Amino acid sequence: MSQRVLRIGVVGGGMFFEDIIGPALHDFARGGFAGALGSIGLSHFAPLVADIRIEFAAIGTRSRDKGTADFIRDAFLNEFPESGLTSHYGDEVWREMIARRELDVLVVAGPDDMHSRAILDALAAGLHVVTEKPMCLHTAEADAVIAAAERAGRIVAVDLHKRYDPFIRDMMTNSLPAYNRIHRVRAVLEEPLTVATETFQWAERSNPFAYVGCHWLDVVAHYMDVKPRALYATGERMLLENWDRYRYEVAILRGQDPEAAKKHGPIHAWDAFNVNITYDNGMRGDFNNTWINPADFEGAVNQELEVYGVLGRGFVDQQERGFREAVTGAGSRTRNPAFGGRIRNMGAHTELYGYGKASLAAGLLAIARAQFLGESPASLAGSYPDAASQRSVTMIIEAATRVAELNYAHFQERGAAPVSALLDDDSITILDPFGPAGGTVLYRRGEA
């Protein structure tokens, strides 16, 4: 039996664990992750990592009342009784997991605002990390994570699966040269209303741009090698802020009981974010993100990426390339099996496929190359979504959040939204005509 093992602990047992992380860990526990490497163009590493055993060793969630971690533990042990998977609870549950279990990797899949704390604690304990996006919400946190990973000599991989979407990847790698100089990118990613009103308890601590806009920010930065230099952002707070009233209308229109809603009062969160970025090559990026898409929308999400060049234009739309079906009582729906499809083997288990799983495999391959093949984390930069690649993404998230907050406040008071931001590699400066002359430094490298 192989002596090379990666023992994994997972923080978070919510929607993404259920849809992708959990099924992927089942597959990896059965047969390793080498079989998934073809989907990221790195199958030549498969023979070198085929014997590495993946052991799902610990699962942690916040509230013991819901019993989520116990349910996950029991279901996994039913199939893999030898794994010894343990369940843990707490507001900072990863600390107990790190202290009580001998782990090699911590998978961070909790709320957006807790990612950096869990990552830093894992690195301090000598663990590698695979974290859900966004890596963090503030640039100073990104700096701390990057520095800690370098000191520890450990991998921090960020699950940015849109890099591995085959339609996006084909356009960004094969089509862009034919378009000549790219002058505009338009990106849309809209999540369903249930995300903010039912699924996530932490919507007030993040925003839809940070939550899913980071996917497109990463795609643009990774495939086009550009950096943000100027930014303008606005946002809307109409539906969720008035959820105590609108939930009645939504429920009645859907034939549901308004009192059955998980949240009854106002949700102090953004409905939508609209961010305009000018990059260092003069290209314009327009990003639109919401988490209030109606539940009756045809797809799980609405996502589009459009690239404009001097000699061509490319457009990837999930609904246009998706799998449409109509079911009596459920209406017409669009599915995206390329992200998280299932294959039911005859008389056996169901296996996950798609770019959701591919992204996790990319992170595990980087960890295996560092842990078992003797490669340095620095030499692996660019082969997976590493921490350093997320610094500019985090700068945009932080700047856009502050600009949108100020523009919202100014519009409520003055009917104007004039605030913007300047970014360079070392700082973010907020330009507010109603604020100090010369602007306000939101972030400067090296300053607390």
Name the CATH topology of 163-333.
Dihydrodipicolinate Reductase; domain 2 (3.30.360)
Residue 372 has pLDDT above 90, yes or no: yes
Position with higher pLDDT, 393 vs 3:
393
Task: Give yes or no for a cis peptide into 111 (omega within 30° of 0).
Answer: no
What pLDDT was estimated at residue 253? 84
Please indicate, yes or no, whether the overall pTM of this predicted structure exceeds 0.85.
Answer: yes
CA neighbor of 276 nearest in space, from 236, 215, 234, 305? 234
Tokens at 64, concatenated: 């013991």
The pLDDT tens digits of the residues spanning 108-122 come to 999 999 999 999 999
Mean pLDDT of 423-439: 96
Q: pLDDT (tens digit, 9 = 90+) per residue, 165-222?
A: 999 999 999 999 999 999 999 999 999 999 999 999 999 999 999 999 999 999 999 9
The mean pLDDT value for 329-354 works out to: 87
pLDDT of 94 over the 50 cut: yes
User: Pick from 316, 303, 278: which is nearest to 396 by CA?
Assistant: 278
- pLDDT at position 1 over 80: no
Residue 254 to residue 259: CA distance in whole angstroms = 13
Where is 315: in which H helix or E strand? strand 313-317
Q: Per residue in 53-82, pLDDT tens? A: 999 999 999 988 778 999 999 999 999 999
The pLDDT > 90 percentage for the chain reads: 86
Residue 347 confidence class, pLDDT cut points 50, 70, 90: low
**What is the predicted pLDDT for the residue at 36?**
96
Q: What are the sequence ranges of the domains in the chain?
A: 5-161+340-386, 163-333
pLDDT 10s digits, 128-147:
999 999 999 999 999 999 99
User: Which residue type does 213 have?
Assistant: G
Supply the pLDDT for residue 65.
78
Q: Grade residue 148 by pLDDT with cuts at 50, 70 and 90.
A: very high
Residue 19: pLDDT above 70? yes
Lookup: tokens for 174: 């094969």
- CA-CA distance, 86 to 259, in Å (whole number)? 36
Question: Does 315 have pLDDT greater than 60?
Answer: yes
Per-residue pLDDT band at 349 (split at 50, 70, 90):
confident
Q: Is the pLDDT of residue 231 over 50?
A: yes
Q: Domain 5-161+340-386: which topology? A: Rossmann fold (3.40.50)
Give the three-state DSSP class for 200.
coil
Report yes or no: 108 and 115 within 8 Å, Cβ to Cβ.
Answer: yes
- Residue 296, pLDDT score: 86
Q: Please enumerate, as own/partner, the contacts of 52-55 that have beta carbons within 8 Å and a separation of 24 or more.
A: 52/2, 52/4, 52/5, 52/6, 52/368, 52/372, 53/1, 53/2, 53/4, 53/5, 53/6, 54/5, 54/6, 54/8, 54/25, 54/28, 54/29, 54/364, 55/5, 55/6, 55/7, 55/8, 55/29, 55/83
Decide whether 5-161+340-386 matches 163-333 in CATH topology: no
* Least confident interval from 257-266, 271-280, 286-295, 432-441: 257-266
Three-state DSSP class for residue 54: strand
Strongest mean pLDDT among 183-197, 250-264, 346-360: 183-197
Whether the predicted pLDDT of 90 surpasses 50? yes
Cα–Cα distance for residue pair 352/340, rounded to 1 Å: 6
Helices (H), 300-389: 337-340, 355-371
Instruction: Note the pLDDT of residue 346.
Output: 66
Closest alpha carbon to 117 in 132, 90, 139, 136? 136
pLDDT of residue 255: 85
